[in-house]
Amino acid sequence: MTVAAGLYFDGVTSTRHSVTVEATAEAVRITTTDSTVIAEWPYPQLRAKSSPDDVLRVGRAGGPELARLEIRDQALIADIEQHAEALNRKGPTERRLRHRAVLWSVAATTSLVLVAVFGLPILAGQIAPHVPLSVERKLGAAIDTQARSMLDQKHGDKPFECGTADAEAAGRAALGILIGRLEQGAGLPIPLNATVIRRNETNAIALPGGHIYVFEGLVTKALSADEVAAVIAHEIGHVAHRDGTRSLLEAAGLSFLFGMLLGDFTGGGLAVIAARTVLQSAYSRKVEAAADLYGVGLMGKIGADGHALGTILERIAGQVEPGSDLLQDHPQTKDRIAAINAAAAAMPGSRQPALSPPQWAALKRICG
């Protein structure tokens, strides 16, 4: 019979009792310092509790839930573990518990990966159409502030936006006319806010909430107003389909969902993460194809030539731009162009340029 000191907690009060612990043939006997037996716990009823490696902490099945006994004497611990196989932390029971814990950990990790890969896109696709437009506009405003700081390349003393100088006023007016025609044709429940910015890439980006940035490089390299209009119409397709909001939900998962529920997009760097997601993400083939068809249809509604989207895509494909992969080189570029041209050919009616020659000339000078 091994005897050593221990600590006993009766589970009723928070008092810790210094006790003597004896490992008898049938049970663990707990006595006070004056040799009064206060408990005997049969070995089959002992249940291990979480403890450091050098401490044995046990409770009794059927006894007070919080009652426990702590033992540090290694000889006594070894004697008790020998009598109570369930407590043998080096025996088969402990190994089974560890194996079970590993299996549960692997299962939990696998579940998280499956949710991230398959669950979040499905969930985001279901949630995005039901996000109130007022919430999306607030999200877009927060992202817009961060996106401006990320896109602004500080062109000397020139402002970030084109069209603000007196000499650029005619170009700003021409852009307003073009956006007005597209906005009227789209008939969206959310207003569009399009701006030409001083960046050399041939691109345009749509943010949640109707914000659209047209890069100076697109205006410079476009050969007609219809080409600029077609690219903007494509981006309006992303706004109409709420692709930006959906991609944010996919990328950041529940963070953006909780932000939407709370109406807070400014705390904890959430807006910064959102802006980076929008500027650095590329939409899937399916999403881009839907925006292509929307853009062609919108060009048809305003009486412009939808072929222009395929024309500019074919001419500058291969340039790697930030943001939406509208103008990036992919093996599917020829298929996209063919689909665009087929949809444009099906548009009825005659075609007129999106802007008059003087208006197009003014738009070309919007950045001075």
How large a percentage of the chain has pLDDT more than 70?
75
pTM comes to 0.62
- Same domain (yes/no): 117, 172: no
Looking at 87, 118, 151, which one is the last position of a domain? 87
- Same domain (yes/no): 99, 236: no
- pLDDT tens-place string over residues 157-209: 889 999 999 999 999 999 999 999 999 999 999 899 999 999 999 999 998 88
Res 14: pLDDT: 80
Could you tell me the CA-to-CA distances from 358 to 177, 180, 222, 364, 366 in Å, in that order? Answer: 12, 17, 16, 10, 13
In angstroms, the CA 47 to CA 30 distance is: 16
- Same domain (yes/no): 201, 313: yes
- Same domain (yes/no): 97, 195: no
Mean pLDDT score, 272-280: 62
Residues of the domain holding 25: 2-87
Which one has a higher pLDDT value, 151 or 317? Answer: 151
* DSSP SS3 for 48: strand
- Same domain (yes/no): 157, 235: yes
Backbone φ and ψ of 320, nearest 5°? -95, 115
**Residue pointed to by tokens 């100076």:** 216
pLDDT range class, residue 252, cuts 50, 70, 90: low
- pLDDT tens-place string over residues 255-273: 555 554 545 544 445 555 5
- Same domain (yes/no): 250, 148: yes
In angstroms, the CA 122 to CA 267 distance is: 27
Average pLDDT over all residues of the chain? 81
- Same domain (yes/no): 176, 325: yes
Which one has a higher pLDDT value, 94 or 16? Answer: 16
- Same domain (yes/no): 187, 268: yes
- Same domain (yes/no): 249, 139: yes
- Same domain (yes/no): 294, 194: yes
Cβ(296)–Cβ(340) below 8 Å:
yes
Picking from 79, 86, 261, 297, the residue whose alpha carbon sits closest to that of residue 187 is 297
Cβ(235)–Cβ(324) below 8 Å:
yes
Residue 228 has pLDDT above 90, yes or no: yes
- CATH number, domain of 55, equals 2.30.29.30
In angstroms, the CA 220 to CA 200 distance is: 8
Instruction: Tell me the pairing of strands 27-31 and 16-23.
Output: antiparallel
Please count the structural domains in the chain: 3
Residue 219 has pLDDT above 60, yes or no: yes
- Same domain (yes/no): 306, 296: yes
In angstroms, the CA 236 to CA 249 distance is: 19
